[in-house]
Amino acid sequence: MNRVREVDDDRKVGVIPRLERVFLLATPAVTVVVVALGLRIGASHELRAAVVYGTPPAATRRGLAWTVVLGRDDRGVREPASGEPLSATGATGGRTARWEGSTNADGVAEAWLALDGVAPGDSVDLSVTSARTGAVLAQGKTRVPEAYERRGAGDARPAFLTPSRRAGDVELDLLVAGGALAAEFPSRVLVQARHGPTGQPLENVRITVEPEPGLEVAARTVATCTDGWAELSATARAHVVGAALTAHDSKGRGGEWFGAIPVRGGALFVELPSIVAPGAARELVVRSPTPRPFAYIEVDDTHGRAMAQVVDLRLDPNGMRSGRIELPPLLPGDAFVVASGEVHGAATLTGATMAFPTLVATPPRERTPPLRECELLHELVHTWMDPVLTGPGVKHLPHFPRPIVLDGFVPLHASAARARRRGLALALWTTLVAALLETLFLVRHARRGRIALEALPPGLLEGRVGTVAAGLGIALLGFALLAALLLHSSS
């Protein structure tokens, strides 16, 4: 009688057995739907953003030549976004500059922000948007990187080639502009003659060059100037070349040098004079021995970046691909024109990337008194030294460093992480609540069934209780496995 009264009490509060069974079956289905919704909320989507690489301004401080790389990130796999029209706006110190352009096949665009007077350390509010859709691809406050710092006077020495053999009282050393020959193009090579025992430079030393196969020289014989320097013009027709040099002076002393001369196969070549006038623009020709469609060209001085441009290369009458750039006005000092087939080639100067040095100074003929060509070699030596630059707190940075000043993927990744956490929380809490409800419904259903089975023999009742316990365990195990799967997928 007591059991029957309990059942009647349950019915009085509105708990209908048939409705309980509906809830018992509907709870897992609703859980699956809500978990799927949570996974959808936290699902990975394709991210589209821009990364801006900054460099300090050149000594003229006319503006910032920064590199914008546009990409798509799909589940950690990033690929370039080409042909996208971009607009970049930078503001600092009450000055605002705007640039518009499009990305190339590598998803790269060289932006120029004409912020006159900008200096290293200045704060710049930068925004990069898509001119096609208006979407913001990168936005935030950036800081202009610190200026390049060249090695100290004690460390800045000519990067002489290492000979395989050198002998005699007249010691010879070779210095190649840019550190290596650009295959198929005439390159400048300086030779220094010194007295071995004393280290003093020797004047009027006659140097004879015997190139190995694959190397051509414009003149087989040259003579040193008063400071011991002479200049050669060499063209590499192969990727491995070498030469033998012999020297004789007026006192009958001699010397020999033999060794390999490094060659960068496939390197771009810039027809750059050894000296350019300060403050004057000049058009330069870029040539490529390979059928690459474009080249990354930048102009740097010892302070920072003066210009950067993606140059389209087209076939010229000589059967080579070439393009033209305009050398911007520069202040007196050393400058480098870096040519590369890779967007970040100037940061390491490896592979086929070349840094062509030039001296920004008053032309020799315009000086008072006029400077002889032989005397100019002494000034070029400093420019042709190893152009490795250093920065604060770093002993040796890449040659022309370009740190990331603004990464548009950072806020997108943070937003995606928050969405994943929200979706995971929704799925886990739904699973927990469903497990509790399912347990409650199963217990109540078992309780009602037990009342109806009171009249059965004790042995049969124990079997029924075990069956209910097993069903409850299987249900809870299913929810536990679902929760474990969610936790594993989020890690």
In a 10 Å sphere around its CB, with 0-12 CB exposed, 13-18 middle and 19+ buried, how is residue 257 labelled?
A: buried
Ranges of residues in the chain with a pLDDT under 50 are 1, 3-4, 6-7, 10-15, 152-154, 390-397
Cα-flanking dihedrals φ and ψ of residue 34, to 5°? -70, -40
Residues 6+ positions from 430 with CB-CB distance below 8 Å: 31, 34, 35, 38
Collapsing DSSP states into helix, strand and coil, what is residue 345? Answer: helix
Amino acid sitting at position 318: N
Tell me the C-alpha distance between 138 and 408, whole Å: 4
Helices (H), ranges, 292-372: none
Give the pLDDT of residue 75: 73
Give the pLDDT of residue 428: 74
Please check whether residue 337 is in contact with residue 327, taking contact to mean a CB–CB distance below 8 angstroms: yes
Please check whether residue 88 is in contact with residue 99, taking contact to mean a CB–CB distance below 8 angstroms: yes
Give the pLDDT of residue 154: 46
Residues 6+ positions from 212 with CB-CB distance below 8 Å: 241, 242, 243, 244
161-211 pLDDT, tens digit per residue, is 899 999 999 999 998 888 889 999 999 898 999 998 898 999 999 999 999
Give the pLDDT of residue 397: 43
Give the pLDDT of residue 396: 43
Query: What pTM was computed for the model?
Result: 0.77
List the one residue out of 178, 64, 146 whose CA is nearest residue 394. 146
Residue-wise burial string across 447-472, b where 16 or more C-beta atoms lie within 10 A, e elsewhere: ebeeeeeeeeeeeeeeeeeeebeeeb
Domains in the chain, ordered, with CATH?
Answer: 2-41+417-490 (no CATH), 47-145+403-407 (2.60.40.10)
Give the pLDDT of residue 13: 43
Give the pLDDT of residue 394: 42
DSSP H/E element including 173: strand 170-176
